[in-house]
Structure 1
Amino acid sequence: MHHSRLCALLVDCLVSDIDEAARFWAAALGRPVDPEHPGTRGDYRMLDTPPDEPIVQIQRVSHESRVHLDIETDNIPAEVARLEALGATVVERLERWVVMQAPTGQRFCVVRVQRPGFPKNATQWD
């Protein structure tokens, strides 16, 4: 048995200035950049979101710009296996998360628990 839920929306930006990209998305979404968040570092900028909303992270990438989702879980291997059974494929296994691709072509990540209150609003899987 494990749990999972939508964790984050990540805006992947193929840009030279991540701060400029973060300012745009902060203004567009009405959520200021949170410079004190531990996730705001290097190529990453976190927006200030309430604990009961998904995280919004702006990240500089070397691939085309896109938006992807993170699914957080208390059991990454079990969640990856569940998603594979639904038709998703593993693209890359990294130290702390797994990049997957949906049968419809979108990339997403399965990550460890990131948001407070887990497993509130999570689905329990057998």
Structure 2
Amino acid sequence: MTLEWHNVIVHAEDPEALGKWWADALGWVVVHTSDVEFAIRPEQDRRPGLEFVLLEESKKSKSRLHLDFVPDDQDAEVARLEGLGARRVDIGQGEQSWVVMADPEGNEFCVLGRRSQ
């Protein structure tokens, strides 16, 4: 049996707004929209993607799954994401080389240190 990774599903109070935020943050394209779903991918036919699905309740605790991103320049990327509306969050990580951030609905993600050459 073979499995192909298709999407990461993110529950959202406002799938369109959150999906657009992530599309801007990642430079991805929108591939599907409906009243309850908003899907983005790196390119139209490239997977995996992110799909934002309506869940009419607020996030209640630390996410059990989060995404890690490796930028060329961590400080510049953190500043850019903060400019888009992300914020730094403390989830008990202590002093680390990565920066824990949250999107506009509070979903945590990490901006790691520099890419390995």
- Taking structure 1 as the reference length, the TM-score comes to 0.38
- Taking structure 2 as the reference length, the TM-score comes to 0.41
**Greater RCO (CA < 8 Å, at least 6 residues apart):** 1
- Higher strand fraction: Structure 1 or Structure 2? 1
